[in-house]
């Protein structure tokens, strides 16, 4: 029988375009870093990212996506994901913020996010940022043809639990290409025995983007219909890369200049 995701395999030409989109999304995160300082509004960050993306012949995918009103997501402290940039949300010393950038270039998407620190942060927050990034890399370093998506989700969840954190279940990694979120390819960041077991194959492109909470895993969505927060208001952190499953293993399409892929395994 044909692989259930065979129709999502990218051609070499598509992969070239995904590399360009991934590189641009990564460059946006590098570009914005020096502006993430106390006193800046999340809207100012949105405007800079928006302008940079347009200047590089691309489109910010979140803008008007299912009604999302801005060009990036900015999720501060206990905001888990999908925070909406606002001119009255001013960053202050000690904040942690996830900036999630998705660009469309030549018809293909690149999707990546990382945590930034605003001035000096607590040792608690420091530890959350470190462990949540490791959660993402434990998933990434498992990627190769034949690996089950369940194995990846389980490894991420177990690593979070080992450190007494929790992995959010309501949002997952996703297939990505000409579509922002491809139907049929979901990368859960936890172990769910009831879903069909899918094995990766060479040529699939998808994200891994765990959201890790210091407290319990439960979330709620605010009245703006977008902003997702932890129910217990504990700090949350997320990291995301767009990946290609290669013959040998994995290529990180959104790796930033100077970012070193850690080698550790779960």
Residues 195-224 that bind ligand MF3 (CB under 6 A): 209
CB 112 within 8 A of CB 241: yes
Task: Give the Cα separation of 214 and 146 in Å (integer).
Answer: 32
Task: Name the residue with the smallest CB distance to ligand MF3.
Answer: 62
Task: Give the Cα separation of 32 and 48 in Å (integer).
Answer: 7
Residues 186-225 that bind Co ion (CB under 5 A): 207
Q: DSSP secondary structure string, 69-128?
A: -SSSEEEETTEEE-PPP-TT-B--TT-EEEEEEEEEETTEEEEEEEEEE-SS--HHHHHH
Size of the site for ligand MF3 (CB under 6 A): 11
35 binds ligand MF3 (CB under 6 A): no
CB 114 within 8 A of CB 26: no
Closest distance to ligand MF3 from the beta carbon of 104 (Å): 12
Among 27, 100, 134, 157, binds Co ion (CB under 5 A): 100
182 binds Co ion (CB under 5 A): no
Among 62, 110, 177, 210, binds ligand MF3 (CB under 6 A): 62
DSSP E strand stretches across 27-84: 59-60, 73-76, 79-81
Task: Give the Cα separation of 227 and 241 in Å (integer).
Answer: 21
182 binds ligand MF3 (CB under 6 A): no
Stretch that binds ligand MF3, among 64-72, 85-93, 115-123, 212-220 (CB under 6 A): 64-72
Q: How many CB atoms lie within 10 A of CB 92?
A: 12
Stretch that binds ligand MF3, among 39-47, 59-67, 126-134, 148-156 (CB under 6 A): 59-67
Residues 42-81 that bind Co ion (CB under 5 A): none
Closest distance to Co ion from the beta carbon of 198 (Å): 18
Residues that bind ligand MF3 (CB under 6 A): 62, 65-66, 68, 73, 82, 100, 102, 111, 209, 240
């Amino acid at each position: 029988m044909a692989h259930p995701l065979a129709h999502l395999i990218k051609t070499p030409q598509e992969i070239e375009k995904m590399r360009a989109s991934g590189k641009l999304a990564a460059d946006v995160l590098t570009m914005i870093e020096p502006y993430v300082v106390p006193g800046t509004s999340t809207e100012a960050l949105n405007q800079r990212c928006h302008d940079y993306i347009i200047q590089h012949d691309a489109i910010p995918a979140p803008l008007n996506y299912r009604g999302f009103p801005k060009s990036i997501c900015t999720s501060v402290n206990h905001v888990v994901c999908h925070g909406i940039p606002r001119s009255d949300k001013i960053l202050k010393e000690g904040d942690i913020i996830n900036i999630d950038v998705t660009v469309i270039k030549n018809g293909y998407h690149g999707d990546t996010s990382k945590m930034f620190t605003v001035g000096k942060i607590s040792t608690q927050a420091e530890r959350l940022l470190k462990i949540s990034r490791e959660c993402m890399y434990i998933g990434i370093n498992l990627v190769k043809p034949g690996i089950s998506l369940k194995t990846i989700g389980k490894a991420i969840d177990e690593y979070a639990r080992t450190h007494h954190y929790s992995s959010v279940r309501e949002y997952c990694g996703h297939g990505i290409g000409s579509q922002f979120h491809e139907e049929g390819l979901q990368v859960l960041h936890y172990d769910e025995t009831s879903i069909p077991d899918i094995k990766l194959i060479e040529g699939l492109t998808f994200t891994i983007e765990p959201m890790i909470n210091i407290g319990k895993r439960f979330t709620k969505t605010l009245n703006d219909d977008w902003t997702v927060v932890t129910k217990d208001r504990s700090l949350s952190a997320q990291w995301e890369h767009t990946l290609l499953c290669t013959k040998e293993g994995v290529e990180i399409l959104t790796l930033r200049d100077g970012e070193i892929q850690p080698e550790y395994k779960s």
